[in-house]
Every structure is written in C-alpha cells, then in structure tokens.
Amino acid sequence: MTETVLIVGASGIVGSAAAEVMGEAGWTVLGLARNPPAQEGVVPVAADLQDPDGLMAALAPHRPTRVVLSTWMRRPTEAEMIRVNGAMVRNLLDALRPAGSVRHVALVTGLKHYLGPFEAYGKSAVPQTPFREEQGRLPVENFYYAQEDEVFAAARRDGFSWSVHRPHTVIGKAVGNAMNMGTTLAVYATLCRETGRPFRFPGSPMQWNGLTDMTDARLLARHLLWASTAPQGANQDFNVVNGDVFRWSWMWGRLAAWFGLEPAPFDGTIRPLEEQMEGDAPLWAEIATRHGLAEPDLDRLASPWHTDADLGRPIEVVTDMSKSRRLGFLDYQPTEDAFLDLFSRLRADRLIP
C-alpha cells in the first residue's frame, strides 16, 4: 500500500526535513499550511488549523495514512499557548476523522517537556539529567502536554497509533521559522565578520562549560519515519538527539573558524543576542544588497530570543537516547557536522554570504 503523509508545518525546520525524507521513501507528501509555499515533491493543502470548517473542507479530498504534527503557535502566556495549540491539534484530528484513513500520528514537541515552558526555565525543580522518557511530566502548565492529550484522546477514539518525539534544539534549514538557532548563529557570525564586532558567546557559564546535545532535523526526520512504520515505535514517547555531546567552549571555536573569525574570549558575562542584534535589520538589508542575498529581512532568518533562551540556561541539558536504541533506531549525527552542513546549505542558497 502506498503511504500518504500529511505534514503540518511542512515548510518549517522539522517539516521540510520530514517531507524530503518521506518523499525519498516513496511516500506521497501533503503539506498543510495557511499559505503553503511551493515545495518540490509536496502537494500543498491550504487550511487554517483554527478554522474547523475550512480545515474539514480542505482535507476532504485527501486520505493520509500518516500524520506529522510539527507546528505550533506562539502566544504571550502559557495558558494562551495551551488553549490555542491544544485546539489546533483537536481541530486537525477531528477533520481527519471522517476519512478513517489515518493509521499513525507523530507529534513533535521538545525538551520543554522536562524543562517547563520558557517563562518557567530554572524556576522550578528540574528532573535529573540526562532526561529520560520515564521521568514524565512536571507539575506545571505546558502546552506540550495539551497537544499530547489531544493526540491520545483522538487515538483512543479513532484507533490509530501515535508517537511523541522530543528533540533538543533542532539544527536545520528554514526561512521564517520562530526557533532557528543554526541560522541565527550564522547571521550573527556574518554580522560580526562584516562589521568587525567580536564573535562573543552570548550565553551562560553553565552552557559554556557544561555538556549539552542537539538534534539535526534530518536525523529527526528519519526518526519520524521509523516510528511511523516500525511496530515497536507505536504508542511510545521518544527523546531524539544526535547521539554525541559537546561543550560550547569547544563548539564555539569550530563555528567561528567556518566564518573565518577568531572567537572572543568568554569572561562569564551573559550578552544576549537579542540585545547584540537589536537594530541590525537595516545593516542586514545592506549586507543582503551588497552580496545579492535572497532574504534581506533579518526577522525571517534570525530568532535571537529562542537562541538566548537555550544558551542562557542556568542548568545542564543532556538527553538520553537509550529507549530508541533499544527499540532499533541506531542513527547518529555529529553535531559539528550538522552546523557546518547547514552553513554550507545557507551559503549555497544565498541566505548568507
């Protein structure tokens, strides 16, 4: 039987990688968005997750067998995030119910499952690291939990299997994404090189000196494919990281070298990128014009608030992948290669000079 996957968020970091991997596997790929961009190998489905009737009409012609949920909507408070994001998942699964075609739903969340929402970072008890799936939920409001609950309820009702995927910071290529550390650091390094500013690590001493890990979007896409089809992946929650660990005190110099920069010494002072890059939009537009870049809008490339949230953490964040390994997913991706491969792709696509 030919598989058809509906990817919600197909133009994002995770969704675009999943579309590529699943398309290469021979699947028909549907990409749902309010205004879906043209993507090679992706059938666009224009719909708003907050419009149940419109969503039902847009999905009526399609019979997806697999669903990947890799999108969310940012709101000012966690309570509002819960209301909006939970409703979007519920609306989608309700709209897919009449066809009765869905056999598996894969939900992408993240390590805020263990850390709590951005506004609660470091303010409550944090489970011991490395994070393991058995640690369960924190006693705090979290929109990830609301998304999970909607998937679980629909799975019980409609008889499909599910998987939950919790990556650490995702490194991959996308324009207009709200959480994009790799491209944000590439833009920051370019600004430093073009202006002569020091390339300073913006985060905390804990992140500079402590161990951490990350997730390549391509590895996450392969994990989504595996869990959507392997019997042992059904009805399971999974951490998903590259498989290596590193310290930013080691990685920062590697990133600097790719851009031909000497990294500035780190003196333990937190210098958030949101402050360092404030007012840089006109400068980026000038750099884009000078080098013939494809995207002159700094806000569509860089998300310094998210990078600051990750690199400013006062706690160690390391993730255990044993559960996936035991069940048969053995892929591995060196994180340094994930960054440098991304930088090469950004340059090839004229997004950085």
Q: Which of 112, 114, 173, 188 is catalytic?
A: 112
Both tokens of 264, joined, read: 């500035």
121 is catalytic: no
Q: Strands 211-212 and 104-108: what pairing? A: unpaired
DSSP conformation class of 45: E
End-to-end CA distance of the chain: 45
144 is catalytic: yes
Instruction: For residue 204, give the nearest of 309, 339, 117, 318 by alpha carbon.
Output: 309
What gap in Å lies between CA 197 and CA 182, rounded to an integer?
19
User: How many whole angstroms from its chain centre is CA 222?
Assistant: 14
Both tokens of 189, joined, read: 């390094």
What gap in Å lies between CA 200 and CA 307, rounded to an integer?
13
Query: What's the chain's Rg over C-alpha atoms?
Result: 20
Provide the H-helix boundaries in the chain: 13-24, 52-59, 78-96, 112-115, 143-158, 181-195, 205-209, 217-229, 248-258, 273-276, 281-291, 304-311, 322-327, 335-348
Q: Which of 114, 144, 173, 188 is catalytic?
A: 144
The residue with tokens 């790719």 is 258
What gap in Å lies between CA 130 and CA 143, rounded to an integer?
22
What gap in Å lies between CA 227 and CA 104, rounded to an integer?
9
Both tokens of 248, joined, read: 């930013």
What gap in Å lies between CA 54 and CA 60, rounded to an integer?
10
The catalytic residue positions are 112, 144
